[in-house]
Amino acid sequence: VQRALCIQQFRGCVWTAERLCCSATLSAVAFIFHILTDNFTTRLPRAGETILGQKFFIGFGGKGANQCVQSARLGAKTSLICKVGKDSFGNDYVANLKKNGVSTAFVGQTADAVTGTASIIVNSEGQNVIVIVPGANLLLSSEDLKRASDIICKAKVAVCQLEITPAVSLEALKMARASGVKTLFNPAPALADLDPEFYTHSDIFCCNETEAEILTGIPVGNLEDTEKVGRLLLERGCKLVIVTLGAEGCMMISVEEPIPKHVPAEKVRAVDTTGAGDSFVGALAFYLAHYPELPVEEMVRKCNYIASVSVQASGTQSSYPYRKDLPQDLF
Distances 21 to 4, 54, 78, 284, 286 between C-alpha atoms, Å: 10, 44, 12, 17, 12
Annotated binding site for K(+): 272, 274, 310, 313, 315, 319
Q: Fill in the amino acid letter for 104.
A: T
Distance CA 36, CA 89 (A): 10
The answer to whether 96 and 60 are in contact (CB under 8 A) is yes
77: helix, strand or coil:
coil
- Name every residue whose Cβ is closer than 8 Å to that of residue 289 and which is 6 or more positions away in sequence: 2, 3, 4, 5, 19, 76, 155, 156, 157
What sign does the CA torsion over 82, 85, 90, 91 have? positive
Measured distance CA(132)–CA(179) in Å, rounded: 33
Binding residues for ATP are 208, 244-249, 277-278, 304
195 is catalytic: no
Could you count the other beta carbons within 10 Å of the beta carbon of residue 300? 25
Q: Which of 215, 157, 159, 211 is nearest to 185 (CA)?
A: 159
Q: Comparing C-alpha atoms, which of 119, 113, 104, 10 is closest to residue 66?
A: 10
Binding-site residue numbers for substrate are 62-66, 163, 278
**What is the C-alpha separation between 109 and 37, in angstroms, rounded?**
21
Compute the C-alpha angle 110/278/200, nearest 5°.
90
Q: Which residues make up each annotated binding site?
A: 62-66, 163, 208, 244-249, 272, 274, 277-278, 304, 310, 313, 315, 319
Report the C-alpha gap between 185 and 90 in whole angstroms. Answer: 27
Query: Pick the catalytic residue: 150, 195, 278, 325?
Result: 278
Catalytic sites, residue numbers: 278
